[in-house]
Amino acid sequence: MEVRLDANEFPRAEDAFHAWQRHARTLMSRFGWQQMTSVGSGMTAALVTDGSRPMRIRHATFTAVAPIDALMAMTELLEAAWVLAEREVLDGVTPDVEAAVAHVRAVAAAESAPAFAAAHAEAVSRHVITTFDDESLSIGAGAFSRTWLRHEVPPIAEIPWDALRNIPLALITGSNGKTTVTRWLARMLRDAGHVVGMSTTDGLFVDDALLDAGDYSGPQGARTILRDPRVTAAALETARGGILRRGLAVHHADAACVTNVSMDHFGEYGIMSEHQLALAKLAVAHAVRDSGTLVVPADDPVLRKLAPFSTSRIGWVTLDGNDAFVTAHTRQGGDAALLLDDVLLLHHARRWHELVEVRDVPLAAGGAARHNIANALFAASLAAHLGVSIEAIQRGLRGFGTATGDTAGRFERMDVGGATVIVDFAHNPAAVAALIAATTSMPATRRAIAIGTGGNREDHAIRLMARTVATSGHFDRIVAKDMPRYRRGRAEGEMPAIMVDELTEAGVPADRLAIAMDDRAATDALLRWMQPGDLVLLTVHSDREAILARLASLVASGWRAGTTLPE
């Protein structure tokens, strides 16, 4: 549980935090949970702004491990402990501990499910995947799973254990690239003959069939895929928000991947640094079985330092094939995927495999899209650890990105009216920098970009995105866009105004700047501006399908850039 405290309005935050700890431990002792409960806590502080004033924010966190059928009760306990602390510190009165105990006891009684807890524990001891939510428990995965309602789980002896098995499964997280890696891995698994379940920020899929559109990168998406009776392998995108709010959906995976960490979402759930963000994302390592592998980038200094503390079995990924650290790792028999002399190489199970040349990877853009070379290496390494053959990996590297929909909204390139348009999800400074770097060598008469981000970023993060655009390349037109669906407390027009202010301070002339109030308006503004031979980068975060459909319609109609844009 996390509490966000504005020290301007809550000067006794430190006292409240210590009172919270004390009351939580007192309440846990009343339920006899002290022997089975591991408690951790801490406070972080940062100076942030709400757009009108600086705020000294303290993030107080208190974590506790509860019995599997008392998780909601533990949550209620921690919240009750906070209410007791507020009464004591703010109001100066003696809080009613007995009322808090009675409330938590009622929640615990309703939640208690002994057969559910026993079956879950037995599955864990057998190393069989389990997933559960408020209503049900599943044992096994995909085609080899069974699901029971929470209070209808049979006794252990009546569960058909021989029929309940795991399937090849990987968890993919990171600040950028995780959707592309998940899609790429799914393609390799399909090429290996699997029926693949995939959960992403775009939706739920079984092979190419869309089950439901939307952001399913949290536990709910993973559970849905792992309960589908058709699925024989799974690639599960696992976002930071879901990890911090709900934890991991599974306790068992064959492999996991953290693609990178970059400054994003700071200020949420007590995450105030790349170090803390890396630790949150490395939670996926705890689900990797003892013989499984965590795949991480050696090129990311934070992950290079922290990953070895999460597990001893690491598959390093690097774009520097001469990296001495990775070379030493492979000489000792460790796994790695790397780029050397424009060739993608894989060291797996103590053998070297030459995969493909960069020129044969469509998404690498001839080597310019280095972030997609890294994504290819992540996918190849994960696939190898899920038992995919080298031949199927090679087919996936050569074929992914050639079919419509392979990379929807991620470095999706098209010719629109004689101009080159690239649609990408770049939503933070690192992703925008990678997009610009990947397109710098592309020929263009003029260049333009539309940028935007979520309102839950702090002002300096929004400014950094604008500064990245101003310093990373020359643009003849920059559209700063609002994002109504993702304002998250920001006023209408506030985010693009901040970006334009930063771009102006960075020296971008006013006649090159524009503001749009949403993704569609930004797209139309640049379509009206562009001429044949131009390069336009559209960072699209909402209404993607509508925007892609509009672009496809323009292409089909034979529309030419520089002529009147159809409504």
The pLDDT tens digits for 339-371 are 999 999 999 999 999 999 999 999 998 998 899
Residue 360's pLDDT is what? Answer: 96
Per-residue pLDDT at 215: 86
Helix and strand element counts for the chain (H, E): 17, 23
| Strand pairing category for 288-297 and 253-258 | parallel
Give the burial class of 61: count Cβ atoms within 10 A of its Cβ; 0-12 exposed, 13-18 middle, 19 or more buried. Answer: middle
423 has a pLDDT exceeding 70: yes
Taking residues 292-316, report their average pLDDT.
93
Instruction: Read off the CATH number of the domain in which 233 is found.
Output: 3.40.1190.10
- Which pLDDT belongs to residue 321? 95
Question: What number is the average pLDDT over the span 5-33?
Answer: 77
Which pLDDT band, with edges at 50, 70 and 90, does 271 fall under? low
Which segments within 2-119 are labelled E, that is strand? Answer: 2-6, 39-49, 54-64
Asked whether residue 344 falls in the same domain as residue 387, the answer is yes
Strands 136-139 and 146-149: antiparallel
Does residue 404 sit within a domain? Answer: no
Q: What is the model's pLDDT at position 17?
A: 80
Distance (Å, whole) CA 533 – CA 562: 11
Beta strand segments in 50-94, E: 54-64
The last residue of a domain, from among 163, 196, 223: 163
State the average pLDDT over residues 106-126. 95
Quick check: is 156 in a domain? yes
Q: Look at residue 276 and tell me if it is in a domain.
A: yes
Contact 369, 332 (CB under 8 A): no
Q: Quick one: pLDDT at residue 254?
A: 96
Angle at 543 between CA 537 and CA 547, to 5 degrees: 50
Summarize pLDDT for 204-231 with one digit per residue, the tens.
999 989 999 888 888 999 999 999 999 9
Q: Is 515 exposed, middle or buried (0-12, 13-18, 19+ CB in 10 A)?
A: middle
Q: Is residue 564 part of a domain?
A: no
Q: What is the mean pLDDT of residues 412-423?
A: 92
Pair (326, 441) in one structural domain: no
Query: Which residue pairs, CB below 8 angstroms and at least 24 apart, start in 114-117?
Result: 114/69, 115/151, 115/153, 115/154, 115/155, 116/68, 116/69, 116/150, 116/151, 116/153, 117/67, 117/68, 117/69
Q: pLDDT-derived band of residue 405, with 50, 70 and 90 as boundaries?
A: confident
Q: d(Cα 462, Cα 466) in Å, to the nearest integer?
A: 7
CA 315 to chain centre: 20
Label residue 503 exposed, middle or buried (CB < 10 Å: 0-12, 13-18, 19+).
buried
> Is pLDDT at 269 greater than 80 in this prediction?
no
Give residue 472's pLDDT. Answer: 82
Q: Of 187-201, 438-452, 524-538, which gets the smallest average pLDDT?
A: 438-452
Lowest mean pLDDT among 49-63, 170-184, 199-213: 49-63
Final residue before a domain boundary, out of 348, 368, 399: 399
Query: Which of 399, 431, 458 represents a domain boundary (last residue)?
Result: 399
Using the predicted structure, report yes or no on whether residue 47 has a pLDDT greater than 50. no
Supply the pTM of this predicted model: 0.82
Is the domain of 104 the same as that of 126? Answer: no
| Per-residue pLDDT, 416 | 95
pLDDT band at 37 (very low <50, low <70, confident <90, very high): very low
More confident residue, 2 or 328: 328
Q: Are 541 and 483 in contact (CB under 8 A)?
A: yes
Does residue 264 have a pLDDT over 80?
A: no
- The token pair at 229 is 């009776």
Confidence at residue 486, expressed as pLDDT on a 0 to 100 scale? 74
Average pLDDT for 420-439: 87
The tokens describing 80, both together, are 């009750």
Residue 126 above 90 pLDDT? Answer: yes
Cα–Cα distance between 385 and 53 in angstroms, integer? Answer: 50
Cβ atoms of 472 and 439 within 8 Å: the answer is: no
- Cβ neighbour number for residue 97 with a 10 Å cutoff: 15
Closest CA to 538 of 420, 379, 371: 420
> Which structural domain range is residue 299 located in?
169-399
Alpha helices in 346-385 (DSSP H): 370-385
* 148 vs 146: CA distance, rounded Å: 7
Q: Interior CA angle at 205 toward 199 and 207, to 5°?
A: 125
Residue 563 belongs to some domain of the structure:
no
CATH number at residue 470: 3.90.190.20
Q: What's the confidence (pLDDT) of residue 54? A: 44
* Both structure tokens of 471: 């310093």
Identify the bridge partners of residue 293 per DSSP, sorted by sequence position: 255
Residue 442's pLDDT is what? 87
Question: How are beta strands 412-416 and 419-424 bridged, if at all?
Answer: antiparallel
Q: Which contacts of 399-402 are long-range, i.e. CB under 8 A and separated by 24 or more positions?
A: 399/187, 399/191, 399/362, 400/183, 400/184, 400/187, 400/362, 400/363, 401/361, 401/362, 401/363, 402/362
| Whole-number Å distance between alpha carbons of 186 and 233 | 8
Structural domains counted in the chain: 4
Domain-embedded: residue 405: no
Task: Mark whether 173 and 302 lie in a shared domain.
Answer: yes
Residues 308 and 253 in one domain: yes
- Report the range of poorest mean pLDDT among 119-133, 278-292, 314-328, 482-496: 482-496
| Residue burial 383-414, b: 16+ Cβ < 10 Å; e: rest | bbbbebebebbbbbbebbbeeeebbebbbbbe
Residues 270 and 395 in one domain: yes
Query: Do residues 254 and 393 both lie within one domain?
Result: yes
Examine the domain organization and report whether 319 and 394 are in the same domain: yes
What integer pLDDT is reported at residue 57 of this predicted model? 47
Q: 336: which 2 tokens?
A: 């790695």
Q: Residue 52 pLDDT more than 80? A: no
- Two tokens, residue 406: 């392979």
Q: Which residue has the tokens 């993060």?
A: 461
Is pLDDT above 90 for 397?
yes
118: which strand partners?
none
27-36, 489-498, 536-545: which has the minimum mean pLDDT? 27-36
Residue 68 forms part of a structural domain:
yes
pLDDT in tens, 164-175: 999 999 999 998
- For residues 376 and 523, membership in a common domain is answered with no
pLDDT digits (tens, 9 = 90+) for 72-96: 999 899 999 989 998 898 778 888 9
- Tell which wins on pLDDT, 495 or 454: 495
Enclosing H/E stretch for 254: strand 253-258
243-261 residue pLDDT tens: 777 778 898 999 999 998 8
Same domain, 250 and 216: yes
Q: How confident is the model at residue 14 (pLDDT cuts 50, 70, 90)?
A: confident
pLDDT band at 485 (very low <50, low <70, confident <90, very high): confident
Mean pLDDT rounded to a whole number for the chain: 88
Residue 318 lies in a domain: yes
pLDDT at 567: 82
Same domain membership, residue 225 and residue 145:
no
Q: Which residues contact 351 (CB under 8 A, 6 or more apart)?
A: none
Residue 1 pLDDT: 57
pLDDT higher than threshold 90 for residue 61: no
Give yes or no for residue 43 having a pLDDT over 60. Answer: no
* 400 or 429: which leads in pLDDT: 400
Q: Are 43 and 152 contained in the same domain? A: no
Q: Of the ranges 356-370, 378-392, 398-412, which one carries the lowest mean pLDDT score?
A: 398-412
What is the spatial distance between Cα 159 and Cα 140, in angstroms, rounded to a whole number? 11
Cβ neighbours of residue 221 closer than 8 Å, sequence gap 6 or more: 199, 200, 204, 236, 237
What is residue 272's predicted lDDT score, i.e. its pLDDT?
Answer: 65
- In the numeric block, which tokens belong to residue 329? 């790792």
d(CA 260, CA 302): 9
